Structure 1
């Protein structure tokens, strides 16, 4: 139920920049949500030149905010969006994350309504149907791991939180490609103004402030990328650089470790592909599979071991930096 009044319960915010045709499907899916309460849609565009702004303006019930491309920041722009939201809860989507059904928004909001201590909820991602079997498997396995933990989590064991990095990683994980925040908590703890991992830093902050975060397995969006070898390296570089700098995580502690991960990942994918697409297609794609794993580990290693050349490596390898320069 969409409403143009100030009595909305939820604001759905979508950040856009040259999203291409997929955004038309995303916006249509958002506008088709079935809820028992009113919600609004707010699009924040940072310099699109592909017709996105004109497309949004065709929908009279959708609010549009335009900012300059150079003013975009992952945390900064999301803070702007939340600050302009009229809803008590603020759902967060990126321009390529499409709700999988018309119950997505209701399912995303349920944990916030059920538990006042929950500051934020994130939902499941699934791969787009046209993406590779390995991409589909990796995303499914990633979100399946959250089913092994309680749906609502906070720091129940401070001693374990202090010593166990794996436990901290579970508690800190949050994906604002598909999430919903309690605005009253955001007003106390806004997103940090960082280039990467703003969602996980926010989750760390709210968890350590005594709030909880929730996982909604039934709040599903299509969101996946079949990265090229080059973009796999660049994306891995960004992830490794940020997680080491912000959390102390070391995704590739050494060259030998990286080589083993390339070997193990290639073998794992080959076995999986033989079962899923057959022997001929599996071996035909083995070379590219090996290159993808090598690029991933190289990105992890370079992002971790930058030293005094950090600025040079960022300009050379950062995918996020390249997108900002466009």
Structure 2
């Protein structure tokens, strides 16, 4: 049994039925303190959290910020914990071993700043969403420094707060998550951690169910925001490199995956990929667009206020 003290923070807003499943999985498979930061839910999200015995802090929905809200949660539990886990309201823990695997990683290496776990698709995931999880989350874990992560390129700094864990001491030393980024506060932290000489990792046997059946419009908006992030944080690609042909590999893999299972989804996959490409390219050029148009194209509209 680990001697590290561990808490969990979960931001919520109108979590719906999937939050109930997520909350039940947390209660079943995690024995530490759980803090929910709720942004003014109007459904049963807070009631479910209370029934599960979680602590709840409420904030105004207009004050939600991907990095800032998580910083708030970590500050509230930091004094009595060594590690803080983050989950999203739509991620469902697979088993108790998943949390244990993450914590074990920190015991093995004091320079390890953060790790993220494997995501498998929800039961209702369509074939496109299933392939995305199949391609992006392998069955091989790793721990890298800036030097050892060079062969991975920009993938060395990939991090997902849908299921992740951070060492509190290093997190605070690095100033926590950025509060002025449109998304990818987790990736930005990982890049800062590697640059500062720490390590980050991926735990393949720490598993949650988490996926999205995005429409082409949603993919466009999501990749518009990713393009904005990469434009604003261009130093990450400069210092860590690009994806090294991953886009082409992804498309070829997706074609094979979809053809084998549900070939009639190929047209939708093609449309989604075109939407991703266009959204990303426009996002990288957001400074040339009117502010009102950027806000309209973006998935995270509060960023543009």
Same fold (TM over 0.5): yes
Q: Deviations over 1:137-167 (max 9, x none)?
A: 22121122x83xx72111236xx95xxxx74
Deviation at 1:290, TM superposition (A): 2.4
Partner SS state of residue 285, structure 1: helix
Deviations 1:195-222 (A, max 9, x none): 2111111111111111111211111011
Q: Is 2:230 aligned against 1:234?
A: no
**Deviation of residue 91 (structure 1)?**
0.3
Show the 5 A alignment for 1:60-75: 61-75=53-67
- Structure 2 counterpart of 1:79: 71
CA contact (8 A) 2:38 2:56 kept: yes
Give yes or no for the alignment of 1:139 onto 2:139: no
Q: CA RMSD in A?
A: 2.7
Structure 1 partner of 2:27: 31
CA drift of 1:312 comes to: 2.6
- Which residue of 190, 206, 209 corresponds with 1:203? 190
**1:187 counterpart SS class:** helix
Q: Distance in 1 between matches of 2:107 and 2:182?
A: 31
Q: Is 2:245 the counterpart of 1:245?
A: no
Alignment of 1:106-121 (within 5 A): 106-121=100-115
**C-alpha offsets along residues 241-289 of structure 1, whole Å, 9 cap, x if unaligned?**
1122213559xxxxxxxxxx89x94x76454333223xxxx2x434323
Cα distance, 1:107–1:308 mapped onto 2, change above 3 Å: same
The 8 Å contact of residues 178 and 189 in structure 2, kept in 1 or not, is answered as yes
Which residue of 2 is the match for residue 187 of structure 1? 172
Q: What SS does the corresponding residue of 1:116 show, helix, strand or coil?
A: coil
- 5+ unaligned residues in a row in structure 1: which ranges? 2-6, 251-260
Instruction: Please give the per-residue CA displacement for 1:62-119, whole angstroms capped at 9, x wherever unaligned.
Output: 1111011111111111110110113211000011111112222111111011211111
Trace 1:1-326 onto structure 2 (pairs within 5 A).
Answer: 9-33=5-29, 39-59=32-52, 61-85=53-77, 86-144=80-138, 147=140, 151-156=142-147, 167-189=152-174, 190-193=176-179, 194-247=181-234, 249=237, 265=251, 269-277=254-262, 282=263, 284-309=264-289, 311-321=291-301
288 and 18 in structure 1: CA distance in 2 versus 1, 3 angstrom threshold = same
Query: Is the contact made by 2:182 and 2:303 (CA closer than 8 Å) also made in structure 1?
Result: no
Distance 1:310 1:75, change over 3 A: farther
Task: Report the secondary structure of 1:134's partner residue.
Answer: helix
| Divergent runs of 4+, >2 A | 247-250, 267-274, 284-290, 305-308, 322-325
How far off its partner does 1:237 sit?
A: 0.7
SS in 1 for 2:223: helix
Compared with structure 1, are the counterparts of its residues 72 and 324 closer, same or farther at alpha carbon in structure 2 (3 Å cutoff)?
Answer: farther
C-alpha distance in 1 between matches for 2:159 and 2:255: 30
Q: Which runs of 5+ in 2 are unaligned?
A: 239-246
Question: What TM-score does the superposition give when structure 1 sets the normalisation length?
Answer: 0.81
Deviation at 1:302, TM superposition (A): 1.0
SS of the residue corresponding to residue 212 of structure 2 reads: coil
Residue 16 of structure 1 contacts residue 95 of structure 1 at CA under 8 Å; is this kept in 2? yes
